[in-house]
Amino acid sequence: MPRGLRCDVAGEIYHALNRGNGRNTVFHKEEDYEAFERVMVLGLAKFEVELFCYQWMPNHWHMLLQPNVDDEMGRFLGWVTKTHTARYHAHYQTTGEGHLYQGRFKSFPIEGDSHFLTCARYVERNALTANLVERAEAWRWGSLSNWCGGDSKIELSTWPFRRSAKWVERANLALTAKEIKQFKKSIERGCPFGSDDWVKRIAKKYKLESTLRPIGRPKKLT
C-alpha cells in the first residue's frame, strides 16, 4: 500500500509516536530506557528540532516537537529509530529476528493553542492512564518528571505557551471523552489536531484532506 501523506514543515508543532512491532515491548528494563535516552540526547544535538514533551512507555513512545528546518522531524526520528534499533539488536543479540518497530513513526500537526496543552496532557499522563504510576510526574521516562526536576539528561525546549502554576495538578486530571476521541482520530488518521477552521485550513495547505475522510471504502450510492 502507498504511504500516507505526512507534513514535516519548519515552525509547525507535531505529535509523533511509534510502537513496537506487533505492540511488543521495546523497553524491558531501566537500562533500556537509559539507552534510548542517550540516543535522544545525541539526536537532539545532531538535528534542528525542538522537543517540548515526551513519554516513553514499555511498548511505544510519544513526543511533541517542532522542526526548525523542513523535513527535519523525519530525519531526526528516522535516525533515532534506526540507531535505537541497531543498539537494541546488538544488546539482545536479536539481529535478523525481525523489526523492533511497527514501521515509520506516525505524526500529525497540532494547533498552537489550547489544543497543544491537551496533547501535552495526553502525553505527560500516559503512564498514569496505563496505571503504571499513581501520579503523572512519578513516571521517570517522561517530560513532566523532567520538568519537575527529575533525573533526566534530556533538555526540553521552551513551550509556545507558559505552563500554568498548577500544571502538574492539571496533568493529573483525566481528559474528557471528547478530547480523547478527537486525539485518537488524529493518531489513527494522521489528521491535524485543532479547531475545525484551523484543521480545514491546515489540511488544505499541506494537502492532508484525505486524512479528514473516514477510513475505508466509500459507501455505495443506492
Interatomic CA distance for residues 176 and 151, integer angstroms:
31
The overall average pLDDT reported for the chain is 91
Whether the CB-CB separation of 128 and 135 falls below 8 Å is answered with yes
How far is the C-alpha of 200 from the C-alpha of 191, rounded, in Å?
Answer: 10
Q: What is the pLDDT of residues 38-62, one digit of tens each?
A: 999 999 999 999 999 999 999 999 9
Ranges of each domain in the chain: 13-212
**Tens of pLDDT along 132-174?**
999 999 999 999 999 999 999 999 999 988 888 899 999 999 9
State phi, psi for 69 to the nearest 5 degrees.
Answer: -135, 140
pLDDT at 16: 97
Closest among 15, 5, 50, 10 to 187, alpha carbons compared: 15
Per-residue pLDDT at 216: 55
- Cell numbers 519548519 correspond to 10
Residue 28 predicted with pLDDT over 70: yes
Q: Is the pLDDT assigned to residue 102 strictly greater than 70?
A: yes
CATH class of the domain whose range is 13-212: alpha beta
Residues 6+ apart with CB under 8 A from 83: 39, 42, 43
Could you give the CA distance from residue 121 to residue 115 in angstroms, rounded to a whole number?
10
pTM across the whole model: 0.91
Longest CA span, the chain: 62
How many residues make up the chain in this entry?
222
CA distance 115 to 178: 12
Distances in Å between the Cα of 18 and the Cα atoms of 53, 100, 188 are 15, 10, 12
